[in-house]
Amino acid sequence: MAENLIIAQATDKTSRYQALVPQIESLISGEPDVVANLSNIAAALKQTMNFFWVGFYIVKNNELVLGPFQGPIACTRIGIGKGVCGTCWKEKRTIVVPNVDEFPGHIACSSDSKSEIVLPAFKNSEVALVLDVDSDKLNDFDETDARYLEQVMRMIERFI
């Protein structure tokens, strides 16, 4: 079990992701507990990428229910098709939102959130949970974030 992440003082996000993703793999390797793994993944992403908010919503009883996260308090339950997270769940795809104020039906858990990326993880071809990452800057997420965070989601699919 790792106690510290080792990330060089790289300023570009590609380098930070390239250093972080293998460490997440090591961090969760051999640990069967879903909550423990999701908690450490959220902490590692927040610490390394300096996201405003990062966390998981887990599909339970036909709702997304707040799971492990790092950042300010968050919305507890989200319906399918509601906000960015619910839309990701319904459409079963990654969604990048450059400006949350321009996303129809955006759920403002925090008025400080300006941009967002949400990614699904699948179990038996159905969305089992979503990773929600918010930034307090506009247009903060791009294809680089999508590519590396999707790698993390594939890791998660192995233990959910």
pLDDT in tens, 19-60: 999 999 999 999 999 999 999 999 999 999 999 999 999 999
pLDDT, residue 65, reads 98
Which of the following CATH numbers is that of domain 13-157: 2.40.160.60, 3.30.450.40, 1.10.10.10, 3.40.190.10?
A: 3.30.450.40
Closest CA to 158 of 119, 116, 113, 128: 128
pLDDT in tens, 85-137: 999 999 999 999 999 989 988 887 778 899 999 999 999 999 999 999 999 99
Rounded to two decimals, what is the model's pTM?
A: 0.93
What ranges do the domains of the chain cover? 13-157
Closest CA to 38 of 136, 154, 156: 156
3-state secondary structure of 111: coil
Q: Report, as an integer, the average pLDDT of 65-70.
A: 98
pLDDT, residue 10, reads 62
pLDDT, residue 111, reads 81
Cα–Cα distance, 14 to 64 (Å, whole number)? 30
Cα–Cα distance, 58 to 73 (Å, whole number)? 16
pLDDT in tens, 134-147: 999 999 999 999 99
**Gyration radius (Cα) of the chain, Å:** 15
